[in-house]
Structure 1
Amino acid sequence: MTQNPFLISPRDLAAVLGRDGVSIVDASWYLPAQNRFAKAEYETGHVPGAVFFDQDAVVDPASSLPHTLPSPEVFAEKVGALGVSDTDTIVVYDGIGLFSAPRVWWMFRAFGAKDVRVLDGGFPAWQAAALPVETGAGAPSPATFTPHSDAEAAVLLPEMREIVAAGSLQVLDARPADRFAGEAPEPRPGVRAGHMPGARNMPFLELTENGRLKSAEALRKTFAEAGIDPDRPSVTSCGSGVTAAVVSLALETLGNRSSRLYDGSWTEWGSAEDTPVETGRGAKT
C-alpha cells in the first residue's frame, strides 16, 4: 500500500519529536455548538513541543468574514512568532481527528511550505497510542518564515461568480446535506440557506472514518457515490473555509493537483444580496 505523503502516523511523529527542522502545530478549532475550547484544551494537554495555531487570529484583520486568508506578510509574522519556518517539516493536528487541521495544512502550503503533514487520527490517535503529552501554554522560540504565496490556491468572490456562472470548475460543498439543501438554517446570522448553482455536496465527514481520512480506494468510492469526479479541476467550499480543506486533502491524496479553495465559502456567498442560490439536494449522475 502506498503511504499517503500528506499524513504521518503517531508513531512516526513520536520518532522525530524534538528533532531540528520539525515543527508541530495544534490546529484545533471548534464550532460554538461543539462547546469545546481549543486553547484551553491545548494547555491541558498537547503533543510535546507543539505550538497552538489560533485560526481566529491568523486571518486578514481587515475582513469581516471568518477565517479569511491573511496576507503573506501577516501569515509569516504570525507563524514565525510560533517558531515555524517555511523549510521545516510541519505536522498539524486537531482535537477531533480530522476536522480543522486540514485548513492549516492548506494555509501553510498556500504560503510556500513544501513539507506539511496531517497527523493521522489527530490528538485522539496520539492519546490512544499512549504517547507522551505535554501541558502548559508553551514558549516557542521565534523563527523566520519566508512566504512564497501561491496565487492559485484560493478563489475569491469575483472569480467564484465567474466559475459558477460558466460552470467551468467542479464546485464541491463540504457542508452537511441538510444545510447544502437549504433544509436547515445556517448557523451564522444573515446567511441565506442553500448552495451555489451547480455545486455538488460532499459532506466532509463522509470522507473520514474514525477520525481519519479514508483510504484512497474508499475515497474514490465515496466521491463516485456523490456523483463527483475527483480527478477534475475543482473548487472546495464549506461554511467558512475550514472543512472545505478536508475535501481538498482528499482530492490531493488522489493525485488531483488542480484543487482550489473558495476562501469566503458559504458565509460570503450566502451573505451577498446578488449571488444566485439554489435549494434541494441535487441529482447524482
Structure 2
Amino acid sequence: MSSSIKKLVSVPWLHNNIRNVKVLDCSWYLPFLKRDVKGEFLSAHIPGAQFFDIDGIKDQSKADLPHMLPPPEFFGSSMDKFGISNDDHIVVYDTMGVGPACRVFWTFHAMGHSKVSVLNGGLPAWAVQKYSTEKGEPNVNPNKEKYTAHPISNLVCSYTEVVKNIGQLKGSDGKEGMQIVDARPHNRFTGAAPEFRPGLSSGHMPYAFNVPFTEVTEAVDLKNPQVQTLKPAKDIRNIFTHAGVDLNRPIITSCGSGVTASVLYFALLNAGVSQSNLTLYDGSWTEYALNPYSEIVKDVN
C-alpha cells in the first residue's frame, strides 16, 4: 500500500484536491429501506463524481449472493467506462458517512489498486460544510488505455476457507486460526432477531466475535448527527480489544453480505492493523447460513 496515500481524507482536503483525484459516489442501502440511491445521486453529488453501483459492479453469476466481488475483467471494463486508470487516486464516499464507500475501498484494494481514500463523513459532511453539489449525469472521458486489475487473493476469503478456519478454531479452542469478526448488529449475531432475508437463519459462526459496524463511527457534531465519521484509531483499537479480538492475530471480517464487513476492514487499517493480517469473507453470513452444512451458533433459546 502506498504510504503517501491517506486512507481517510477530510472534506477540506477533497475540496482542495478535487482536480487531482477521481471521485465515486458509492451509496447503498439495504433493499427493504427502498432508497433510490441512483436518483439521489442525480439530485445531488460532489462535483465530478460518478456513481459506483455496488449491486451492478459485482459477480453477475452468483444470483443468490447480492454483491460479490466482480471478476477482474469486468471490474476493469467498468473502470474504463468511468475513465479511471491504474494510476489514478480514487476518493470514495457515500451518504451514510463512513459506510458502503468502504466496500468499494476494499474492492479497489482487492483489485490491486492501493491509491484509494474514503471521504470522512461522506456527502453529509460535504453538505454541512456548504460546498457545492452537482445534479445529473457527469461528463465522462472513457479510458484510452485499458484498466488492468491485479487481484490480491489473500484479501478475499471463500466459504471453503472459512469452514477450514472454523475447524482450526474449534480444534484449538480459539487459539489457532484466523479470528472471525462479525459486523452485524448484536441481536442478529446472537440469534435474538431475524435476518432481513426471509428464511435465512440468524446466529453466528463458531468462535466468532461481534463488533457491530456502527461502533466504529460517531457523530462528533451534535448539531449535525447525520454526519457520521470514523472514530480515532485509539478508540477503534479499544473497541476491538474489548470485544475479545487480539489485534496481533490475523482477522477475517464478515457481516450480512459483505458491505459492512468492509467498514471493519477499513477501520482496522486506520487503527494500524497490517493489511497482511486482514481478509474479508465476501459471501459473509448470507452465503454461510444458506449452506445447510454450516454450523450455526445461537446464544439465545
Q: How does the TM-score come out when normalised to structure 1?
A: 0.94
In structure 1, how many angstroms separate the alpha carbons of the residues matched to 2:261 and 2:79? Answer: 22
User: What do residues 83-123 of structure 1 show as CA deviations (whole Å, max 9, x unaligned)?
Assistant: 22221110000001011010000001110112110001111
Instruction: Report the Cα distance in structure 2 between the residues aligned to 1:129 and 1:203, rounded to whole angstroms.
Output: 28
Q: Counterparts of 2:6 and 2:284 in 1: how far apart (Å)?
A: 27
Q: What is the identity, as a one-letter code, of the residue corresponding to 1:137?
A: E
For residues 260 and 35 of structure 1, the distance between their equivalents in structure 2, rounded to whole angstroms, comes to 30
Shift of 1:138: 1.8
Partners of 1:265 and 1:123 in 2: how far apart? 27
Please point out which of 250, 256, 276 is paired with 2:295. Answer: 276
The counterpart of 2:279, out of the listed 260, 265, 270, is 260
Query: What is the distance in 2 between the residues matched to 1:223 and 1:76?
Result: 35
- The aligned runs of 1:1-285 (5 Å cut-off) are 5-19=6-20, 22-64=21-63, 65-143=65-143, 144-167=146-169, 168-210=177-219, 211-256=228-273, 257=275, 258-280=277-299
Letter in 1 for 2:123: F
Q: Which moved more, 1:217-226 or 1:115-124?
A: 217-226
Deviation at 1:24, TM superposition (A): 0.3
SS at match of 1:268: helix
The residue matched to 2:108 in structure 1 has which SS?
Answer: helix
Q: SS at 2:285's partner residue?
A: helix
Match of 2:39, SS state, is helix
State whether residues 25 and 52 of structure 1, in contact with CA within 8 Å, keep that contact through their aligned partners in structure 2: yes
The 2-side partners of 1:134 and 1:180 are apart by 40
CA deviations 1:133-158 (Å, max 9, x no partner) are 01102232112322111011100111
Q: What is the distance in 2 between the residues matched to 1:4 and 1:237?
A: 26
Cα deviation per residue 1:41-65 (whole Å; 9 max; x = unaligned)?
A: 1000001000000000011111121
Work out the CA distance in 1 between the residues paired with 2:193 and 2:19: 46
Quote the sequence identity (%): 42
Q: Which runs of 5+ in 1 are unaligned?
A: none
Structure 2 gap ranges (5+): 170-176, 220-227
Counterpart CA distance in 1 for 2:184 and 2:210 is: 7
CA positional deviation for 1:5 = 2.6
Aligned to 2:223: none
Aligned 8 A contact 2:233 2:272 in 1: no
Distance of aligned partners of 1:16 and 1:24 in 2 relative to their CA distance in 1, 3 Å threshold: same
Deviation sequence 1:223-258 (CA, Å, 0-9, x none): 122111223210000000000001001111122221
Q: Any conservation in 2 of the 1:4–1:253 contact (CA below 8 Å)?
A: no
Please give the root-mean-square deviation of Cα atoms over the aligned residues, in Å: 1.4
Q: Deviations over 1:173-193 (max 9, x none)?
A: 000000000111111123111
Deviations 1:8-39 (A, max 9, x none): 111010012223xx110000001123332210
SS in 1 for 2:286: helix
* Partner AA of 1:12 in structure 2: W
Aligned counterparts of 1:264 and 1:14: Cα–Cα separation in 2: 35
Separation in 2 of the partners of 1:231 and 1:242? Answer: 24
Q: Give the aligned residue type for 2:252.
A: V
> Which secondary structure state, in structure 2, belongs to the residue aligned with residue 17 of structure 1?
helix
Tell whether the 8 Å contact from 1:58 to 1:75 is kept in structure 2 after alignment: yes
Aligned residues: 277
Cα displacement (A) at 1:214: 0.4
Offset of residue 4 of structure 1: 9.3
Contact 2:5 2:116 in 1 (8 A): no
Q: Is the 8 A contact 1:98 1:208 kept in 2?
A: yes
Alignment partners' CA distance in 2, 1:97 and 1:278:
32
Question: Is residue 206–residue 297 contact of structure 2 (8 Å, CA) maintained in 1?
Answer: yes
Q: Supply the AA of the counterpart residue of 2:6.
A: P
Cα pair 1:231 1:255 within 8 Å, conserved: no
TM-score (norm 2): 0.89
Moved over 4 A (4+): none
